[in-house]
Structure 1
């Protein structure tokens, strides 16, 4: 029998490291910029029709609260979904000309930047979790 009394689980979250905070802000701002680009492209700058393609901004807008709250699941699914935007940008950059091609190139660059920010965030968060688990195991 252990002489230690059971304790309540620690409910205080550790403060994020500077790298985690930087990757969070990078992902949040890049996702917002990509959503603005998608909406502006399809509604104002180079619309392809009645604006129905503007719906492509919806997943990005739905991801913003999860990015703000640092939900790891959101960073994971967004790092996969962003490749749809990169693919669309690559196709439209090679098939359109003028403003449409420039906007497509911007979509590709923002998509790659968003993937990088999400991947770094997930990687840093998992490394911090492993370090905390190791420290807790050594303390016990």
Structure 2
């Protein structure tokens, strides 16, 4: 694995781990008034981040790409908190920073590692040339 690929892997992994820890601390320690039950908080705030965590730990590029879809929910949540909840604005800023670094790390790692492993999608021109050659041989 190239050094820049490794950097983005660790950026994604550390950001993902810190986001799980941060949301857990925020929802169970820092928040004074609990409007939701602990089960709801775990199901909505924590569980979605745990679903791709195993694949991120193992360094799978497909899971990193998939984890980006999950982190978008937290990005929206962070933007909403920063805008609408003045009492928790700085908690939202931390979540926003962690979401952004996780998104960058996951995107870059998935792209770079996928290319290293040859998992990229072929360009349409290459695909068409292969199909043309195949059908010309089988006439």
Q: TM-score, normalised by structure 2?
A: 0.75
1:79 lines up with 2:64 in the alignment: no
Structure 2 regions of 5+ residues with no counterpart?
119-139
Q: Which runs of 5 or more structure 1 residues have no equivalent in the other structure?
A: 1-15, 131-140
Match of 2:53 among 46, 64, 68: 64
Number of positions where the alignment pairs a residue of Structure 1 with one of Structure 2: 115
Comparing 53-62 with 88-97, greater Cα deviation is found at 53-62
Tell me the residue number matched to 2:104. 116
User: What is the match of residue 85 of structure 2?
Assistant: 96
Instruction: Give the Cα separation in 2 of the matches to 1:78 and 1:57.
Output: 13
Higher fraction of helix: 2
Q: Is the partner of 1:118 in helix, strand or coil?
A: helix
TM-score by length of 1: 0.74
Q: Which has the higher contact order (CA 8 A, sep 6+)?
A: 2
Regions of 4+ moved over 4 Å: none
